Each structure stands twice: as C-alpha cells, then as structure tokens.
Structure 1
C-alpha cells in the first residue's frame, strides 16, 4: 500500500440562505470519511514539499481538510483534496471554490506518522515578496523649498 495516499469519500449538501429578499445556495461538506463508500471519492496524496504546511495544520485547534470543487460561480464538482492550507490558498487564488471540513482523527494520526517517517520540513517564516515590493524606487526627488 502506498504510504502517502488515502481514499476519502465526500458527501456535499446545499443549504439555502435567505439574505434580505434574495436566496443564496451555499454548499458544504456534510460527511467526510476514509474509504471509497461515498458519492465522491478523492485521493488525498501527501507531498514531501508540503510537510511544513501539514505540521502547521496539525497544530491548529481543529485541523482541516480542503476540497477543490470547481469554479466559484458553479455547482461544486470536487476534484482534489489536500491537508495543506498553502495548496488550498493557491486554488482560491485561481478562483476555485474551496470547501473545508474538520480532519478525521485517523488522518491526523496518518499524517503524523508520515512526518515521523520522512522528517519535519523547516518552517518557512518569510513570505514571498511581490515583484518590486519593499524596494526603493530609483526616481530622483526634488527638495521642497522651506
């Protein structure tokens, strides 16, 4: 059996919310379970490059799993799952809708053992700089008369 791959079953439900005179349909994960018994089955694959993100997630009060579910304006069609907030943030930057759910304890233990086997990744403390951010501009300034 592959030590970095698990099948996860996901069941989604739609909830209608009333906002003033408008109704809005919001989707959420109703059930998330190990195995291949649900209507949607995705493969959760752990990656060596995401070890620091897994550790960060596991130290949260409630560790979460994130499900990519297609473009934001459409009916969700789950097609990927991750335990990394960094990966989920990348999906959201691409205007994908991301649903989240509490991580089952069995998966927390599995990820812990993965980290124990493969070692902890060093925590990346600095964020990537935007191009040109934090650099002085090379434009001459005129002194103001006093």
Structure 2
C-alpha cells in the first residue's frame, strides 16, 4: 500500500453575495471556510489521479494555486458534487455547462499534492505525435 494517500476529505460552505453589473443584480457564489474533514455544510473528497499529475504541477506553479468545485448546473442554486485540483478537469465541467466555483488552495493541500507528485514521479513529457502522411487533409474525390 502506498504511503501517500490519494484522497483527502474537505468541507466548506457556499455563500452568495449580491453583485451589480451595469444596473443588473445577480448573485456571485463563493466558497468559504475550506477545512480538512467532513464537518462543514458541504463535504467532498479531493482525489488525486496519476493521469492528472501534469495538471497538478501546472496549478501548483501558477501564481495562485486553486481548487475547483463542480457545483451543479449554471443558473441554479449551487449544489457541490465534486472537487479537483486539475484545471483540465474544471474546464471539462465548464464545457458541460456546469457551474464551477474556485477557491485558493490551502498550503497543506499544496504540500500534500507536492508529496503525491514526488512519490509517484512527475508526469512524463508528452512527446510530439507524428502524423501519418496525408492525415487531416481533405482528399479529392474523383467523380
């Protein structure tokens, strides 16, 4: 069994703040009180995956590492269902028209992800793939 676990429970709350933009009022939802454990109003397991190591590294080396929470469909009251440290996963949620909330990643989570990457190794560099001759080009069809 690995000495570095790949799952951490996190709890938090989601609050809405009124926001006015050019005379229109909306609600901006944000995550507050993010702490380890299952004790908050919302609790999700942050799970790390080997296939996302490059995305974790990218996030950790950004100016402000973030966690991303899938919080139901856009336009509805947030109902968190998943959390990730991968911007790639968060982008796929957005492509699916889900609401994604983000929050600063606590230092303890950053250290845990660093330890996970150190234990399992950096993601292998993705080499440039060779194209087959003529791949991706339209072919002329003889009539």
**TM-score using structure 2 length:** 0.85
Query: What's the counterpart of residue 117 of structure 2?
Result: 115
The runs of 5 or more residues in structure 2 that have no matched partner are 129-134
Which one of 85, 88, 92 corresponds to residue 87 of structure 2? Answer: 85
> Structure 1 stretch 96-105 or stretch 32-41: which is displaced more?
32-41
Whole-Å separation in 2 of the counterparts to 1:83 and 1:33:
15
State the number of aligned residues. Answer: 133
CA 1:77–1:125 in 2, change beyond 3 Å: closer, same or farther?
A: farther
User: Larger C-alpha radius of gyration, 1 or 2?
Assistant: 1
Whole-Å separation in 2 of the counterparts to 1:124 and 1:99:
29
Q: In the TM superposition, what is the alpha-carbon distance from 1:67 to its structure 2 partner?
A: 0.2
Whole-Å separation in 2 of the counterparts to 1:79 and 1:53:
20
**C-alpha contact 2:4 2:115 (8 A) present in aligned 1:** no
The 4+ residue runs of structure 1 with deviation greater than 3 A are 123-126, 134-140
The runs of 5 or more residues in structure 1 that have no matched partner are 127-133, 141-146
Answer yes or no: is 1:31 the counterpart of 2:33.
yes
